[in-house]
Amino acid sequence: MAIVWFIVIVSVLIVAHELGHFLFARLFKIRVEQFAIGFGPKLWSKKFGETEFMLNLIPLGGYVSIYGQDEPQKGKDSFSAKPVWQRFLVVAGGAIFNFLLTGLLFYIVLFRSGFSESFDFSFLGTEKGFLFGTQEITSERGLVYSGLTEEYPAEAVGMIDQGIVVSIDGITFNNGDELAEYVNARPNQMVSVKVSDFDGNESEYELTISNDGYMGVQLLGVSLIKVSYNGLDRIFSGFLHGANYLSYQLRMLSRIITFAVESKQLNILSDVFTGPVAVYQTVEQVSKQQDVIEIVKLAAFISLNLFFVNLLPLPALDGGYLLLYVIEAVFKKKLPYKTQQTIMAIGFIILMIVSGLFIINDIIRFSQRQQMFEIEAEL
């Protein structure tokens, strides 16, 4: 079932992206020669007007072939003959439609949740919140612990000094407060505590709760920001939530990179920069929950990332072309066609190398990431 969801999600995102390019091109009366979903051998094709629509075997990509985009062509329906602002919008259309899809999907998620969602700000600090929505700061204890209290049961049995409490007596807990309530109610009773380190390795300990109802594990606090959308905000809540989510991601990414560099633990970044294999693993894990809303939320998250990545001003990405158009608009002069092609070719090679490294990293980290998913599922 996971592979079906993966194909569905990827296909929907690709169709949205390529549809953006297509519709903006047609808006400006630019000829679109092909609209393809997938790569490889052709499974089906049909020509409507000047455009051939195709469905290909490998559903992991897609493209639109726009007349005059790959090389200059004469004619009113040529991409290269259009003013720079129109070319800019045609190329940006893919990312624009991905954000529109993100907004729609997040609206569905928010409608189900009562137009609110909580974000974990433990790693960021709550002094800076979001631009949109009504915000409420709350705190609770999580299931992650760091340190053991001296002369208490956990230390006495040699429990690892930091990790995650997976379960007690086979019971899992939603947060540290529920765990503490369970433990506090069992003074002098023996319990079985399963914990995991941060690499996914699990250990189980038998210990007796102290007289005062503690096992001596120092649970870390979790700081949450609950964002709610009210009144007219609800109409545009999907897009506002997408903007909030993107700012949250970028701040988390910046914080993690800074922490990895300062602590000289660059291996942390191997879980941050991932490729299609890790995406499939995530889809597989979410699909096990058998909750369509969670699938929709994941699709919104991936669509938002596709929107952002495509706009990065890097050669071979849409953002690389957009940067060239900005330069052309500012200096009123096009870069020579051969120069543009050389820049994009070099960028494409670099992009393929980086993508290959991401896939290799995904494969190396496959089993470890699977273990972490299993722990999160138990929690």
pLDDT tens per residue across span 127-152: 788 999 999 988 778 888 888 998 89
pLDDT tens, per residue, the chain with 379 residues: 778 888 889 899 999 999 999 999 999 999 999 999 988 888 999 999 899 999 998 887 889 999 998 888 888 999 999 999 999 999 999 999 999 999 999 999 999 999 999 898 877 877 788 999 999 988 778 888 888 998 899 999 999 988 899 999 999 998 888 999 999 999 999 999 999 887 778 899 999 999 999 999 988 877 889 999 999 999 999 999 999 999 999 998 888 888 778 777 666 676 677 777 777 778 887 877 778 999 999 999 999 999 999 999 988 899 999 999 999 999 988 888 888 888 888 888 988 898 888 888 778 776 766 666 665 555 4
Gap between the Cα atoms of 259 and 162, Å rounded: 18
- Strand (E) or helix (H) holding 294: helix 292-310
The residues with which 117 forms a beta bridge, in sequence order, are: 227
Count of positions (residues) in the chain: 379
Residue 256: per-residue pLDDT: 84
Task: Tell me which amino acid residue 25 is.
Answer: A
C-alpha pair distances (Å), 87 with each of 46, 82, 294: 26, 7, 37
318-328 residue pLDDT tens: 999 999 999 99
Return d(Cα 164, Cα 219) in angstroms, integer.
Answer: 9
Looking at the DSSP bridge assignments, the partners of residue 32 are 66
Q: Interior CA angle at 341 toward 337 and 345, to 5°?
A: 175
Q: 3-state class of 32 per DSSP?
A: strand
Question: Among candidates 76, 96, 84, which has minimal Cα distance to 22?
Answer: 96
Contact 42/4 with Cβ under 8 angstroms? no
Q: How many helices (H) and strands (E) does the chain have?
A: 10, 8
Residues whose CB is less than 8 angstroms from the CB of residue 95 and which lie 6 or more positions away in sequence, other chains included: 17, 20, 306, 307, 310, 311, 318
User: Which amino acid appears at position 113 of this protein?
Assistant: S
- By CB neighbour count within 10 A (0-12 exposed, 13-18 middle, 19+ buried), where does 105 fall? buried
Tokens of 220: 């870390």
Indicate whether this model's pTM tops 0.85.
no
